[in-house]
Structure 1
């Protein structure tokens, strides 16, 4: 067997290993939980980082050894073997991550980062496999040379990103904070959308007379804006929803700043934190549905249904926050709060107690502000939708 034939066999094996690793990543949740697990997350992530670095370096060596214009097949063989070994090692690192010990959110982030890297690696391997099989004339073409360089650069960029500060998180709480901030940005976008609805509706109250002449010529093309305008009752509902969303967006922000960014010692279990993130996603989805229901012509029954759904998520979120605010203090905390000399400072509320009061008040305000929206008998008060003078 010639060196070229050996390389084709090795590349085929490397490609199959990438495919098997990707399949294992997508089905890792179905693995046997009874098998021994490594609990030290820092060790697992350090090994993963080292493997990514080795793949980065080996892919560079492979690109140099199998340069289409002058491939050196004998030099590429050990590099391909190493890449195959590193790919299997990465799959093993992901496999030993445990949702209960290390967190579901972290595992999902790692899976995402590693999946795109292995897909890029497989694409490079397949490129060189195709080049080896096509023959020297095609391999020396300009398009072939450009393809392997582009794919190698893509792999390098993905690995650099995964190993950087915005890549693979260092732990589950970091992964949760990242997703939480993404949800917060989307919630703020929804709140801004409702504000623009209100501003547009209030402006239309004084501009209705000129609507027919203010289409910038789109009407002549049959593309005039056919969106219905809010009446006074619809505007009142929109303002009510805006008040609710302003409170829930503020609540979401304060959970991140006051609770997730400064978790207690010891921190809440990963399972509880993962469940809290699910409530964040649910809050965002419910908010989006409520915002969508505000476009005129409104259906009051739909707005009521979406408001009830949002309120249900808020209530569930309040239940989830109990992991940060235990109902009863421990014996040690109670004893430490006592003062033999009657020091008045002993009765001063601690920061967690003060935070709990704020959150309780915020949840109460959300419930009160939502009352009009969820009541089937609600009708906006006279003049509620009028533009303030």
Structure 2
């Protein structure tokens, strides 16, 4: 379930609660290395191979809060702890292995990883989702694995606007997730932050959604997940995605995150479910054209064959299906005819096959670390 709109921009407090699934790091991940040294002259950060401005308010907010908690821990819990490291500058290097700023929650993964890593460096323990939220709202959910809700909270200071795990990643092992990366998915034409601001100011539908729809839908969604009721889960997911994009259209001027390929994917899902006589797949779209498809493991091979029929892989596009292996199967001729969609060239660049995964974890292999002994970027992953 998408969260869209904030009641407090500085603290990143949402106008409604939301729910997400943390994707498995074996397929989609952000890798972050943080080094702290007295020899560093200033804080620095590199993202996807390029040095960025570390004075960005959201990055500074995370750094400030982690350092504050580290000082508090030393003063209140264990005054004997060495405090010299608290004044050291840090070098941060972070890399995504999936498209950035394309509606695939790259900022959520990035800030969750950043806060978790900073906490390890500075010896901070306990609840961290509130700090991650101040970097990117959705990052608070990414601090946990599996199925996670972001409770909007009621306090003005945001201390009760936190993430909570609904079920762990092991809860629904049959659930599979397919990320359909659209061929011409460029950076979002309207960033999420500015888009939310405009929607809050101009969309009547957004207000109705937040107050009258989402509270009940959250309960229904959590119940469907706990019962592993795929049909209910799938329909709620699609309805919520549709309504989110309806609020974008209700925004003035309207915001368009979906493109023609996104619309074809939606049509394909509904035609396939109708042909099967049951809901076997569902879609959701964040603020971008790339689709996230949910299905059960036994239905993935056939649906992926259908995807390849409607969106033929590009001959020079590399591996089309990446991630978790999918069994090959033949596509019945009657299914092709029943779907009735003509093949669309250059529609989908590739598909990532994945499942629910854990929250942030430590990379033990030194060969995977992104900073060298001099504190400068060493490699990308």
Q: What range is the shorter-chain TM-score in?
A: under 0.3
Structure whose residues are more often helix by fraction: 1
Structure 1 or 2: more strand by fraction: 2
TM-score, normalised to structure 1's length? Answer: 0.27
Report the TM-score, using the length of structure 2 for normalisation. 0.28
Q: Which has the higher contact order (CA 8 A, sep 6+)?
A: 2
Larger-gyration structure (1/2): 1
